[in-house]
């Protein structure tokens, strides 16, 4: 609304209050349509790549191999729902993932950033070239990336070459040969290619902090960090505050650990031309396997010997998989199911009528189980106190322990066989993983209370599905488990993992946790939240679903058009009379400044009299925030004719006072709180709004 106040004209909207006479005086002209200014965008902030996070499937990405493999988006992303996932069945000499038709400017500096890892740590190289013959290099050629085995962010800065005018035939290519091997899994996410602009230069921000590790003497530990910021980023790892020579990557692997390393503190300094940031410290805890541990090569760090794998089907035993915080683990591949499939170690020295603890870490790709026995190695295969003990494996690393007393002999023996029996649980294509197999007399073990190593993770499923929650804990065996739902014990849920019944909508929001107990004490895990979505909702309208990084170029206001929005929101479906649900996922945020976030809808013109806005969603940290309100309660709901086509959708960033975080709106109408863009930007979000008509049920979130 335009008002006259003491000789000055004041423009009041649901977004801001502006003194137009002040603008005329200081800017030299009268800006009537002030809201059009924030709509200006910069090509420098626009990524050239389509579907960078693989949230929309795999297109337009193309996977090619002259070996055998596949490319899907069926893996969870580092922050989004999906990631690109390449599986190598048979290695080839030409294995690539690429996107073509890229528009590039000549002699221009670009930044390529992406997140990636491979299950084996095998590398890849990157090239930018002409898509057709003669495949001219466009400034980036066979740049080798040293991948790790967990998510890391990589960035490269280069200047285009090989052409003198704008081209539209660029191909960005991730080249996996000759590094790939059969059974390799490559994962990629958030592949962004942008022109470098001075306006978008930002100092480093750490996205994923290094995690503390617990390992045993002789193993190595891997610490990793994920950071964002203007490339190139440099890394320097430190131990107890002192630089580690040569430790200059996004991950660092220690030498073989000794007891003197217990309690060591590791951190990394991430730097670029615009600043630096120290990570949190990660603590290394070193445990000692007693010298009299009966098992040799417990962590498969020395190969597979003296472990023996036997099957009357077909399969292999290797130590080519990453362990539980160490480089190697025992890895069994089942090619053909058998009736006798076992992994064992023989020649174990055992004392009679003695209490022992067996502990190990394991999982299988399918969650198929196994059983354990301790027996005489040869006929008559006398049981030595542990017989067909069934272990309910999960699909991620979990620690298991069992305590038993030896039987079946009266004097010390040297012919014990510890046997993991995979039949009859195994099936073709199963993968079993083992690490840290330790068998000790109880009297030799240090009695310690339980400690949770891996917390249960929140899950999202649809109606009718089940959810699996799991925990990994250490401590003196035996460990017992009791799972709870909303603080109440679940009968029979007494294992390291728990599978829910088929879920209904009443399960939505349920909180699950587990109490782990032994003779020395107990510990309660963090809560894991179960989100249950309806299987479908054909009535709902997803009016906006955007991943977006608010930055110092677009500042407070960002516009998204009205594609896929019906021209009539009253008929045939009365969305205008329904409920609007919003989900704000704050992925990165540079400070704890309070932000008020809002969506506005415009019709006909970008003016105050032609827009309606949602209520604020207030936050000061990363996380997911939900809100809902009747459509009729939108600010200026009646300013929109809902039976006619809308013009624009706009997302707005405001400070705690409701002022746009934008230096174009300063005194006399009031500064934004803090007056420092770096406290607010860059801020990466995913904003989703769904309108459900009257009696339309609950929203189903994409």
- The pLDDT value recorded for residue 220 is 81
- Computed from CA positions of residues 50, 51, 53, 57, in that sequence, does the dihedral angle turn out positive or negative? negative
Token couple for 290? 């007693």
Q: What is the spatial distance between Cα 350 and Cα 139, in angstroms, rounded to a whole number?
A: 65
- The pLDDT value recorded for residue 586 is 94
Average pLDDT over every residue of 396-403: 87
- The pLDDT value recorded for residue 417 is 94
pLDDT tens readout for residues 406-456: 999 999 999 999 999 999 999 999 999 999 999 988 754 456 788 887 889
Token couple for 96? 């690539």
Distance of CA 477 to CAs 182, 214, 521, 686, Å? Answer: 38, 17, 12, 44
Q: What is the spatial distance between Cα 659 and Cα 229, in angstroms, rounded to a whole number?
A: 27
Q: What is the enclosing helix (H) or strand (E) of 335?
A: strand 329-336
| pLDDT for residue 7 is more than 60 | no
Length of the chain: 702
Percent residues over pLDDT 90 in the chain: 49
Contact criterion met (CB below 8 Å) for 516 and 529: no
Percent residues over pLDDT 70 in the chain: 88
Place of tokens 């506005």: 600
**Where does the pLDDT of residue 589 fall: very low under 50, low under 70, confident under 90, or very high at 90 and above?**
very high
- The pLDDT value recorded for residue 116 is 92
Contact criterion met (CB below 8 Å) for 389 and 377: no
Rg (CA), the chain: 30
Domains and CATH numbers, the chain: 2-44 (no CATH), 62-196 (2.60.120.260), 205-287 (2.60.40.10), 308-314+326-444 (2.60.120.260), 451-533 (2.60.40.10), 541-692 (2.60.120)
| pLDDT for residue 23 is more than 50 | no
- Computed from CA positions of residues 21, 24, 30, 33, in that sequence, does the dihedral angle turn out positive or negative? negative
Buried b (16+ CB within 10 A) or exposed e, 584-600: bbbbebbeebebbbbbb
State the DSSP code for 29: S
Contact criterion met (CB below 8 Å) for 90 and 149: no
pLDDT tens readout for residues 599-646: 999 998 888 889 999 999 999 999 999 999 999 999 999 999 999 999
- The pLDDT value recorded for residue 148 is 85
**Where does the pLDDT of residue 536 fall: very low under 50, low under 70, confident under 90, or very high at 90 and above?**
low
């Amino acid at each position: 609304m335009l008002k006259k106040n003491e000789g000055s004209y004041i423009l009041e909207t649901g977004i801001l209050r502006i003194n137009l006479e002040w603008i005329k005086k200081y800017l030299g002209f009268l800006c009537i349509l002030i809201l059009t200014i924030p709509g200006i965008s910069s090509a420098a902030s626009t990524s050239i790549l389509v579907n960078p996070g693989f949230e929309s499937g795999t297109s337009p990405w193309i996977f090619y191999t002259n070996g055998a493999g596949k490319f899907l988006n069926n893996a969870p992303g580092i922050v989004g729902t999906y990631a690109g996932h390449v599986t190598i069945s048979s290695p080839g000499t030409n294995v690539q993932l690429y996107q073509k038709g890229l528009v590039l400017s000549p002699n221009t500096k670009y930044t390529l950033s992406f997140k990636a890892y491979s299950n084996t740590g095998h590398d890849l190289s990157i090239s930018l070239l002409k898509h057709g013959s003669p495949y001219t290099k466009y400034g980036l050629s066979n740049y080798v990336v040293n991948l790790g085995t967990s998510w890391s962010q990589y960035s490269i800065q280069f200047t285009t070459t090989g052409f003198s005018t704008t081209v539209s035939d660029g191909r960005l290519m991730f080249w996996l040969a000759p590094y790939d091997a059969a059974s390799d899994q490559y994962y990629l996410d958030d592949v962004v290619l942008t022109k470098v602009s001075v306006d978008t230069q930002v100092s480093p921000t750490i996205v994923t902090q290094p995690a503390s590790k617990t390992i045993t003497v002789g193993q190595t530990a891997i610490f990793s960090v994920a950071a964002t910021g203007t490339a190139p980023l440099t890394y320097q790892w430190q131990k107890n505050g002192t630089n580690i020579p040569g430790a200059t990557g996004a991950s660092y692997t220690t030498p073989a650990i000794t007891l003197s390393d217990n309690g060591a503190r590791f951190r990394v300094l991430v730097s670029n031309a615009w600043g630096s940031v120290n990570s949190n410290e990660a603590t290394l805890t070193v445990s000692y396997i007693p010298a009299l541990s009966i098992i040799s090569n417990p962590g498969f760090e020395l190969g597979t010997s003296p472990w023996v794998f036997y099957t009357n089907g077909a399969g292999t035993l290797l130590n080519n998989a990453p362990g539980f915080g160490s480089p190697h683990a025992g890895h069994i591949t089942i090619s053909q199911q058998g009736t006798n499939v076992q992994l064992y170690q023989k020649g174990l020295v055992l004392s009679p009528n003695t209490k022992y603890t067996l502990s190990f870490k394991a999982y299988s790709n399918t969650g198929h189980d196994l059983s354990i026995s301790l027996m005489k190695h040869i006929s008559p295969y006398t049981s030595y106190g542990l017989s067909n003990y069934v272990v309910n494996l999960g699909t991620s690393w979990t620690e298991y322990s069992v305590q038993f007393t030896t039987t079946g002999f009266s004097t010390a023996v040297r012919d014990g066989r510890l046997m993991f029996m995979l039949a009859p649980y195994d099936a073709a294509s199963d993968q079993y993983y083992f690490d840290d197999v330790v068998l000790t007399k109880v009297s030799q073990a240090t009695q310690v209370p339980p400690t949770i190593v891996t917390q249960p993770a929140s899950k999202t499923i649809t109606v009718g599905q089940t959810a699996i929650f799991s925990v990994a804990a250490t401590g003196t065996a035996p460990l017992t488990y009791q799972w709870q739902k909303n603080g109440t014990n679940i009968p029979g849920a007494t294992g390291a993992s728990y599978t829910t019944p088929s879920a209904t909508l009443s399960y939505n929001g349920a909180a699950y946790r587990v109490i782990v107990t032994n003779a020395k004490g107990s510990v309660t895990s963090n809560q894991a939240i179960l989100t249950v979505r309806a299987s479908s909702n054909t009535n709902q309208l997803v009016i906006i679903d955007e991943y977006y990084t608010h930055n110092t170029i677009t500042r407070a206001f960002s516009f998204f058009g009205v594609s896929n929005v019906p021209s009539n929101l009253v008929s045939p479906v009365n969305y205008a009379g329904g409920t609007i649900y919003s989900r704000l996922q704050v992925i990165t945020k540079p400070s704890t400044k309070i932000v008020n976030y809002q969506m506005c809808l415009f019709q006909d013109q970008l003016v105050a009299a032609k827009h309606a806005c949602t209520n604020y969603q207030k936050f000061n940290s990363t996380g997911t925030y939900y809100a809902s309100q009747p459509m009729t309660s939108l600010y200026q709901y009646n300013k929109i004719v809902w039976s006619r086509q809308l013009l624009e959708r706009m997302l707005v960033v405001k400070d705690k006072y409701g002022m746009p975080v934008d230096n174009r709106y300063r005194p006399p109408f009031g500064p934004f709180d803090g007056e420092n863009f770096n406290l607010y930007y860059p801020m990466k979000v995913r904003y989703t709004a769904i309108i459900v008509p009257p009696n339309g049920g609950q929203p189903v979130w994409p």
